[in-house]
Chains A and B, each alone.
Chain A
Amino acid sequence: MAYKTIIEDGIDILVVGAGLGGTGAAWEARFWGQTKKIVIAEKANIDRSGAVAQGLYAINCYMGTRWGENNPEDHVRYARIDLMGLVREDLLFDMARHVDSTVHQFEDWGLPIMKNPKTGRYLREGRWQIMIHGESYKPIVAEAAKKSADKVFNRICVTHLLMDEAKPNRVAGAVGFNVRTGNYHVFKSKTVICGAGGASNIFKPRSTGEGAGRTWYAPWSSASAYGLMINAGAKMTQMENRIVLARFKDGYGPVGAYFLHLKTYTQNGLGEEYESKWWPELQKMVGREYLDPESFHLTHRPIPTCLRNHAMISEMKAGRGPIHMVTMHAFQDPHLEEVGWENFLGMTVGQAVLWAATDVDPKNENPELTTSEPYVMGSHATCSGAWCSGPEDVSPPEYFWGYNRMTTVEGLFGAGDAVGGTPHAFSSGSFTEGRLAAKAACKYIDDGKGEGIVVSDEQIERRRHEIYKPLEHYRVYRNAVVAGTVNPHYINPQQGLDRLQKLMDEYCGGYTVGYMTNEKLLNICLKKLKVMEEDLESLAAKDLHELLRAWELKHRHRAAECVTHHTLFRKETRWPGYYYRGDVMKVDDENWHVLTVSRRDPETGAYTLEKAPCYHLVADEVATGSHAAAQKLSV
């Protein structure tokens, strides 16, 4: 095809993916690099791209330090508890101490944040969450990014990162194709901040027809953050930590405001409270340290998300479903009713549509909840992503190698879903991570670390050929059959996606198997993924839109493979309710109170997995006084 090659050279900071993470990076980069060249490459249209396309009704990560509501370390402890102990506490502390300045800036820009009429403070939904009218959250932050960036390239599907040929393991930019014109775009840059999306649709969704689009996380979150970085040889962490969500059935509408603001609660199909009956058995599996219901009234320690899932899953399996959200009482109050509906309209309109279609009025009935299929991402109640360096003043030596939020590939930074170990960042935290990465990237350049990059024409040509291959493959092998989508020489992206989803679902703990897997199943999964990788060389795309889907599939596949390796490596069931290792059905702090780190060799495709130590924030006295505790290392 006669597509042009368009080269954008001399970039200092290339932001790949302009979601909340990427827009944060682009915005902040201009301050630290007032004369630097900042370019954004975005797959869709920056004004509505990413997971915040339809808006948000709450900002779930706000400390409220100005009003003495919380301290950053409180948030770290909360995230640690929710993730069963395994998080990057240095990155979390760093994100939490900065996030308030991000939120205050959002308000200053015009984001409507609800106020508590009595105190004048932001209206809290819960301890960490504040309520907003955020339908235009994305257009507002996109405006900020546009004001900072020199150029914004929309509709560019970035397929690969460019690697420096002068110095190994150093990034040199990115390449991709324009989804509208088809042209080949090459971005030569000293640094890349990856703000691309996490992974939806790598496991079979509960709805498989049209409804496959009603994923909890956006369907355009095609694991590109992971696909790009894994392929560049970056180390990844906690990729086994997939998340399963308990949400309103079918529509996957959010429940946060319901639990926290409307004070609704769950019941089983018989109208009973059901969670507590599962705690004793669960406590045997995870240990009292992680689940101690007897002391709830004393500690007010929140129960981890995954454990609550486990109770729901178990209850349904025991035949006492469906699980209901008891809304009837709360919805009698017209103000709460308005909040309940607007919560969807500003965040997940699909849920409102579903209730309108099924005549569900929460005033008159208690709607159903269910657990979703698994997702892999890094900014919610889960923390998959790249293994990144932390801030110098906080991180221990194992967690620091020069620049905040830089991956193990030099010059490659992450923000949002791309960064591993920082759950509960949500929108504001992701934007904040982008800001942190931007400052660090500017420092990296000012330190001269981005000098002497060499990218050969050969690399650029090789990638070009690779990118368009599915189009060419279709064009040629289409000739083999009369018509239709069945062809022995190729698969189209939808067929490939169906296959990936079924395979991950059945072997890697999807919902149809009750989130259950084991060593044997995981090994079969890897084998099948390898065969699929061969078949991906025969992907066919009939037009540019299908070519986009083809590359999204390739990124999804790569992420899925990494997820499977990690799930196999971690020999325990750390997060029952997210997934289970049938062969090791317990938490094993002795051996596995660590973070898993993997690296795929770009040359050979082989994965190496290792354990990385888990550091926790402890009070100084405890740290210095208790050497015995320090003996319980597993590294």
Chain B
Amino acid sequence: MPTFVYMTRCDGCGHCVDICPSDIMHIDETYRRAYNIEPNMCWECYSCVKACPQHAIDVRGYADFAPLGHSVRVDRDEKRGTIAWRIKFRNGTEKNFLSPITTKPWGTAIPKLAEAAAPSKAMRDSQLLYNEPKWIRMDEGGLRTLEDAGLKLKKGVYY
């Protein structure tokens, strides 16, 4: 279901151009507004739809197999941390959904590892990664080894 842009809503802000993972949202040369230049490379990921501040982008299911008359629209609200969907079937059936997209204010709970305490030599020589072993089981245990598991790697046919 490739994307398309409503003429009366797009004001040429560029958010969709900036976010599209497929590099297919570009600016039309006659209207200076956005449009999908390569629908057959559109994954319908909705990144542009969600990014558009004017809700100017919508999706029409792939012409290969999707009949007309449907609508799946979204409102991604970063401030509220939610995403709302409204699905309208061709036959008029409607479904609404609302769910969280983050549980904490954006970016606030991610530490800057440059400021973390530097790893000791023991930690460097070990197989541990940052925040380990504590964060593996949230306990005081160590990293699992083959010895812990009572196993050995053996060449050959085993099932």
Segment of A210-218, A230-238, A469-477, A524-532 in the binding face: A210-218
User: Does B65 belong to the interface (CB within 8 Å)?
Assistant: yes
* Shortest Cβ distance from residue B102 to the other chain A in the assembled complex, whole angstroms: 4
Say yes or no: is B122 at the interface (Cβ < 8 Å to chain A).
Answer: no
Quick check: is B30 within 8 A (CB to CB) of the other chain?
no
Partner pick for A112 among B19, B102, B111, B129, CB 8 A cutoff: B102
Q: Which of A355-363, A412-420, A556-564, A602-610 contacts B (4 or more CB under 8 A)?
A: A355-363
Which single member of A94, A213, A345, A630 contacts B62 (CB below 8 Å)? A213
Considering only CB atoms and an 8 Å cut-off, how many residues of chain B contact the other chain?
91
Q: In the docked arrangement, what's the CA distance between A396 and B1, Å?
A: 48
Most chain A C-beta atoms within 10 Å of own C-beta, residue among B39, B67, B144: B144
Nearest opposing residue in chain A for B63, CB measure: A210
Using CB atoms, name the residue of chain B closest to A139: B106
Chain B proximity mask over A600-628: 1 for CB below 8 Å, otherwise 0: 00000000000001111111101110000
| Whole-angstrom CA separation of A264 from B64 in the bound complex | 27
**Given contacts A44-B22, A210-B64, A623-B154, A143 and B107 within 8 Å (CB-CB):** yes
Known: A45-B19, A208-B64, A396-B153. A98 touches B114 (CB 8 A): no
CA distance A147 to B69 in the complex (A): 44
A101 touches B89 (CB 8 A): no
B61/A354 in contact, CB under 8 A:
yes
Q: Is A385 an interface residue (CB 8 A)?
A: no
**CB-defined contacts of A275 to chain B, threshold 8 Å:** none
Q: Check if B13 is an interface residue, CB within 8 A of chain A.
A: no
User: Is A458 part of the binding interface, using a Cβ–Cβ cutoff of 8 Å?
Assistant: no
Contact status B1-A214, CB under 8 Å: yes
A71 touches B144 (CB 8 A): yes
Q: Tell me, in angstroms, the Cα distance from A518 to B39 when the chains sit together.
A: 35
Interface residue? A108 (CB, 8 A): yes
Whether A632 sits at the interface, judged by CB under 8 Å, is: yes
A110 & B47 in contact (Cβ 8 Å cutoff): no
A66-B138, A109-B109 as given contacts; A356 in contact with B88, CB under 8 Å: yes
- In the complex, how many angstroms separate the beta carbon of B3 from the nearest chain A beta carbon? 10
Chain B nearest CB from A208 CB (Å) reads: 7
B26 x A545 contact (CB < 8 A): yes
* Contact for B146 among A93, A208, A209, A624, CB less than 8 A: A93
* A144 contacts the other chain (CB 8 A): yes
5 A-B Cβ contacts within 8 A? A101-B131, A104-B136, A219-B22, A353-B66, A614-B157
Please, which residues of chain A bring their CB within 8 A of the CB of B74?
349
The residue that A359 contacts in the complex, of B20, B46, B93, B116, with Cβ under 8 A, is B93
- Tell me, rounded to whole Å, the shortest Cβ–Cβ distance linking B60 to chain A: 8
* Chain A residues whose CB sits within 8 angstroms of the CB of B45 once the complex forms: 48, 53-54, 218, 349
Chain B binder among A24-32, A158-166, A308-316, A460-468: A24-32
Proximity bits, B3-25, A CB within 8 Å = 1, else 0: 00000000000000011111110
> Which 8 pairs, one residue from A and one from B, show the smallest C-beta to C-beta distance?
A211-B64, A110-B104, A357-B66, A30-B113, A356-B70, A54-B45, A211-B62, A101-B135
Q: Which residues of B contact A32 (CB under 8 A)?
A: 119, 124, 130
| A545 closest partner in B (C-beta) | B23
Whether, in the assembled complex, A250 has its beta carbon less than 8 Å from a beta carbon of chain B, the answer is yes
With CB as the reference atom, state the residue of chain B lying closest to A27.
B113
Q: Is the pair B106, A110 in contact by a Cβ cutoff of 8 Å? A: yes
The residue on B at minimum CB distance from A98 is: B129
Which of A50, A213, A346 is B44 in contact with, Cβ under 8 Å? A213
Segment 28-83 of B: residues with Cβ below 8 Å from A: 37-47, 59, 61-72, 74, 76, 83
A615 touches B153 (CB 8 A): yes
Interface positions, chain A 56-82, Cβ under 8 Å from B, are 65-66, 71-73, 81
A209 touches B99 (CB 8 A): no
CA distance A214 to B158 in the complex (A): 39
- Of B46, B64, B109, B112, the residue contacting A209 (CB under 8 A) is B64
- Asked whether A617 lies within 8 Å of B153 as measured between CB atoms, the reply is yes
- Alpha-carbon gap, A335 to B25, bound state (A): 36
A619 neighbours in B (Cβ, 8 Å): 150-152
Could you tell me if B65 and A616 are in contact, using CB atoms closer than 8 angstroms? Answer: no
Give Cα distance in the complex from A133 to B44, angstroms: 19
Report whether over half of chain A's contact residues are helix, strand or loop; otherwise say mixed.
helix
Give, as a whole number of angstroms, the nearest-CB distance from B10 to chain A. 19
| A-B contacts besides A100-B137, A213-B40, A354-B62, 20 pairs, CB < 8 Å | A27-B113, A31-B116, A34-B113, A44-B21, A54-B47, A65-B137, A97-B143, A109-B110, A135-B101, A136-B101, A207-B65, A210-B2, A213-B39, A341-B87, A345-B85, A352-B87, A361-B89, A394-B153, A616-B156, A629-B156
B1 near A353: Cβ-Cβ < 8 Å: yes
- Give bound CA distance, A509 to B114, whole Å: 49
A338 within 8 A of B: yes
Q: Which residues in B have their C-beta under 8 angstroms from that of A48?
A: 19-21, 45, 47
Q: Roughly how many angstroms separate A440 CA and B109 CA in the complex, as a whole number? A: 26
> Given A28-B130, A143-B107, A215-B43, do A290 and B152 touch, yes or no (CB 8 Å)?
no
Binding site for B on A (CB under 8 A): 27-28, 30-32, 34, 44-45, 47-50, 53-54, 65-66, 71-73, 81, 85, 89-90, 93-94, 97-98, 100-101, 104-105, 107-112, 133, 135-136, 139-140, 143-144, 147-148, 155, 179, 207-215, 218-220, 250, 289-290, 338, 341-342, 345-346, 349-350, 352-359, 361, 391-396, 432, 435-436, 439, 443, 446, 545, 548-549, 589, 593, 613-620, 622-624, 629-635
Contact A209:B40 (CB < 8 A) given known A100-B136, A353-B70? yes
Min distance, Cβ A182 to any Cβ of chain B, angstroms: 13
Of the residues B42, B102, B107, B146, contact of A394 by C-beta under 8 Å: B146
- Once the chains are docked, how many angstroms separate the CA of A34 from the CA of B111? 13
Q: How far is the CA of A140 from the CA of B109 in the complex (A)?
A: 10
Whether B103 pairs with A31 at a CB distance below 8 angstroms is: no
Which of B68, B132, B156 has the most chain A CB atoms closer than 10 A to its own CB? B156
Let me know if B89 and A341 touch, CB within 8 A. no
Please tell me if the beta carbons of B2 and A213 are within 8 angstroms of each other in the complex: yes
Which residue in B100, B135, B159 is a CB contact (below 8 Å) of A290? B159
Q: Which residues of chain B have C-beta atoms less than 8 A from A392's C-beta? A: 127
A107 to B138, CA, bound (A): 13
For A357, A614, A624, A630, which residue has the most chain B Cβ atoms within 10 angstroms? Answer: A357
Which residue of chain A has the shortest Cβ distance to B1 in the bound complex? A353
Q: Are A133 and B23 in contact (CB under 8 A)?
A: no
Are A136 and B102 in contact, CB atoms less than 8 angstroms apart?
A: yes
What is the chain A residue whose CB lies nearest that of B132? A101
| CA distance in complex: A391, B146 (Å) | 12
Q: Is the CB of A616 within 8 A of B154?
A: yes
For the complex formed, measure the closest distance between the CB of B114 and the CB atoms of chain A, giving whole angstroms: 5
Q: What residue in chain B is nearest A624 (Cβ atoms)?
A: B152
**Is the beta-carbon distance between B158 and A179 smaller than 8 angstroms?**
no
Cβ-defined contact, A439 with B26, below 8 A: no
Let me know if B129 and A28 touch, CB within 8 A.
Answer: yes
Which A residues are in CB contact (< 8 Å) with B88? 356
Contact status of A356 and B64, CB under 8 A, knowing A28-B129, A617-B153: no
Chain A residues with Cβ under 8 A from B63's Cβ?
209-211
Nearest to B48 among chain A residues (CB) is: A48
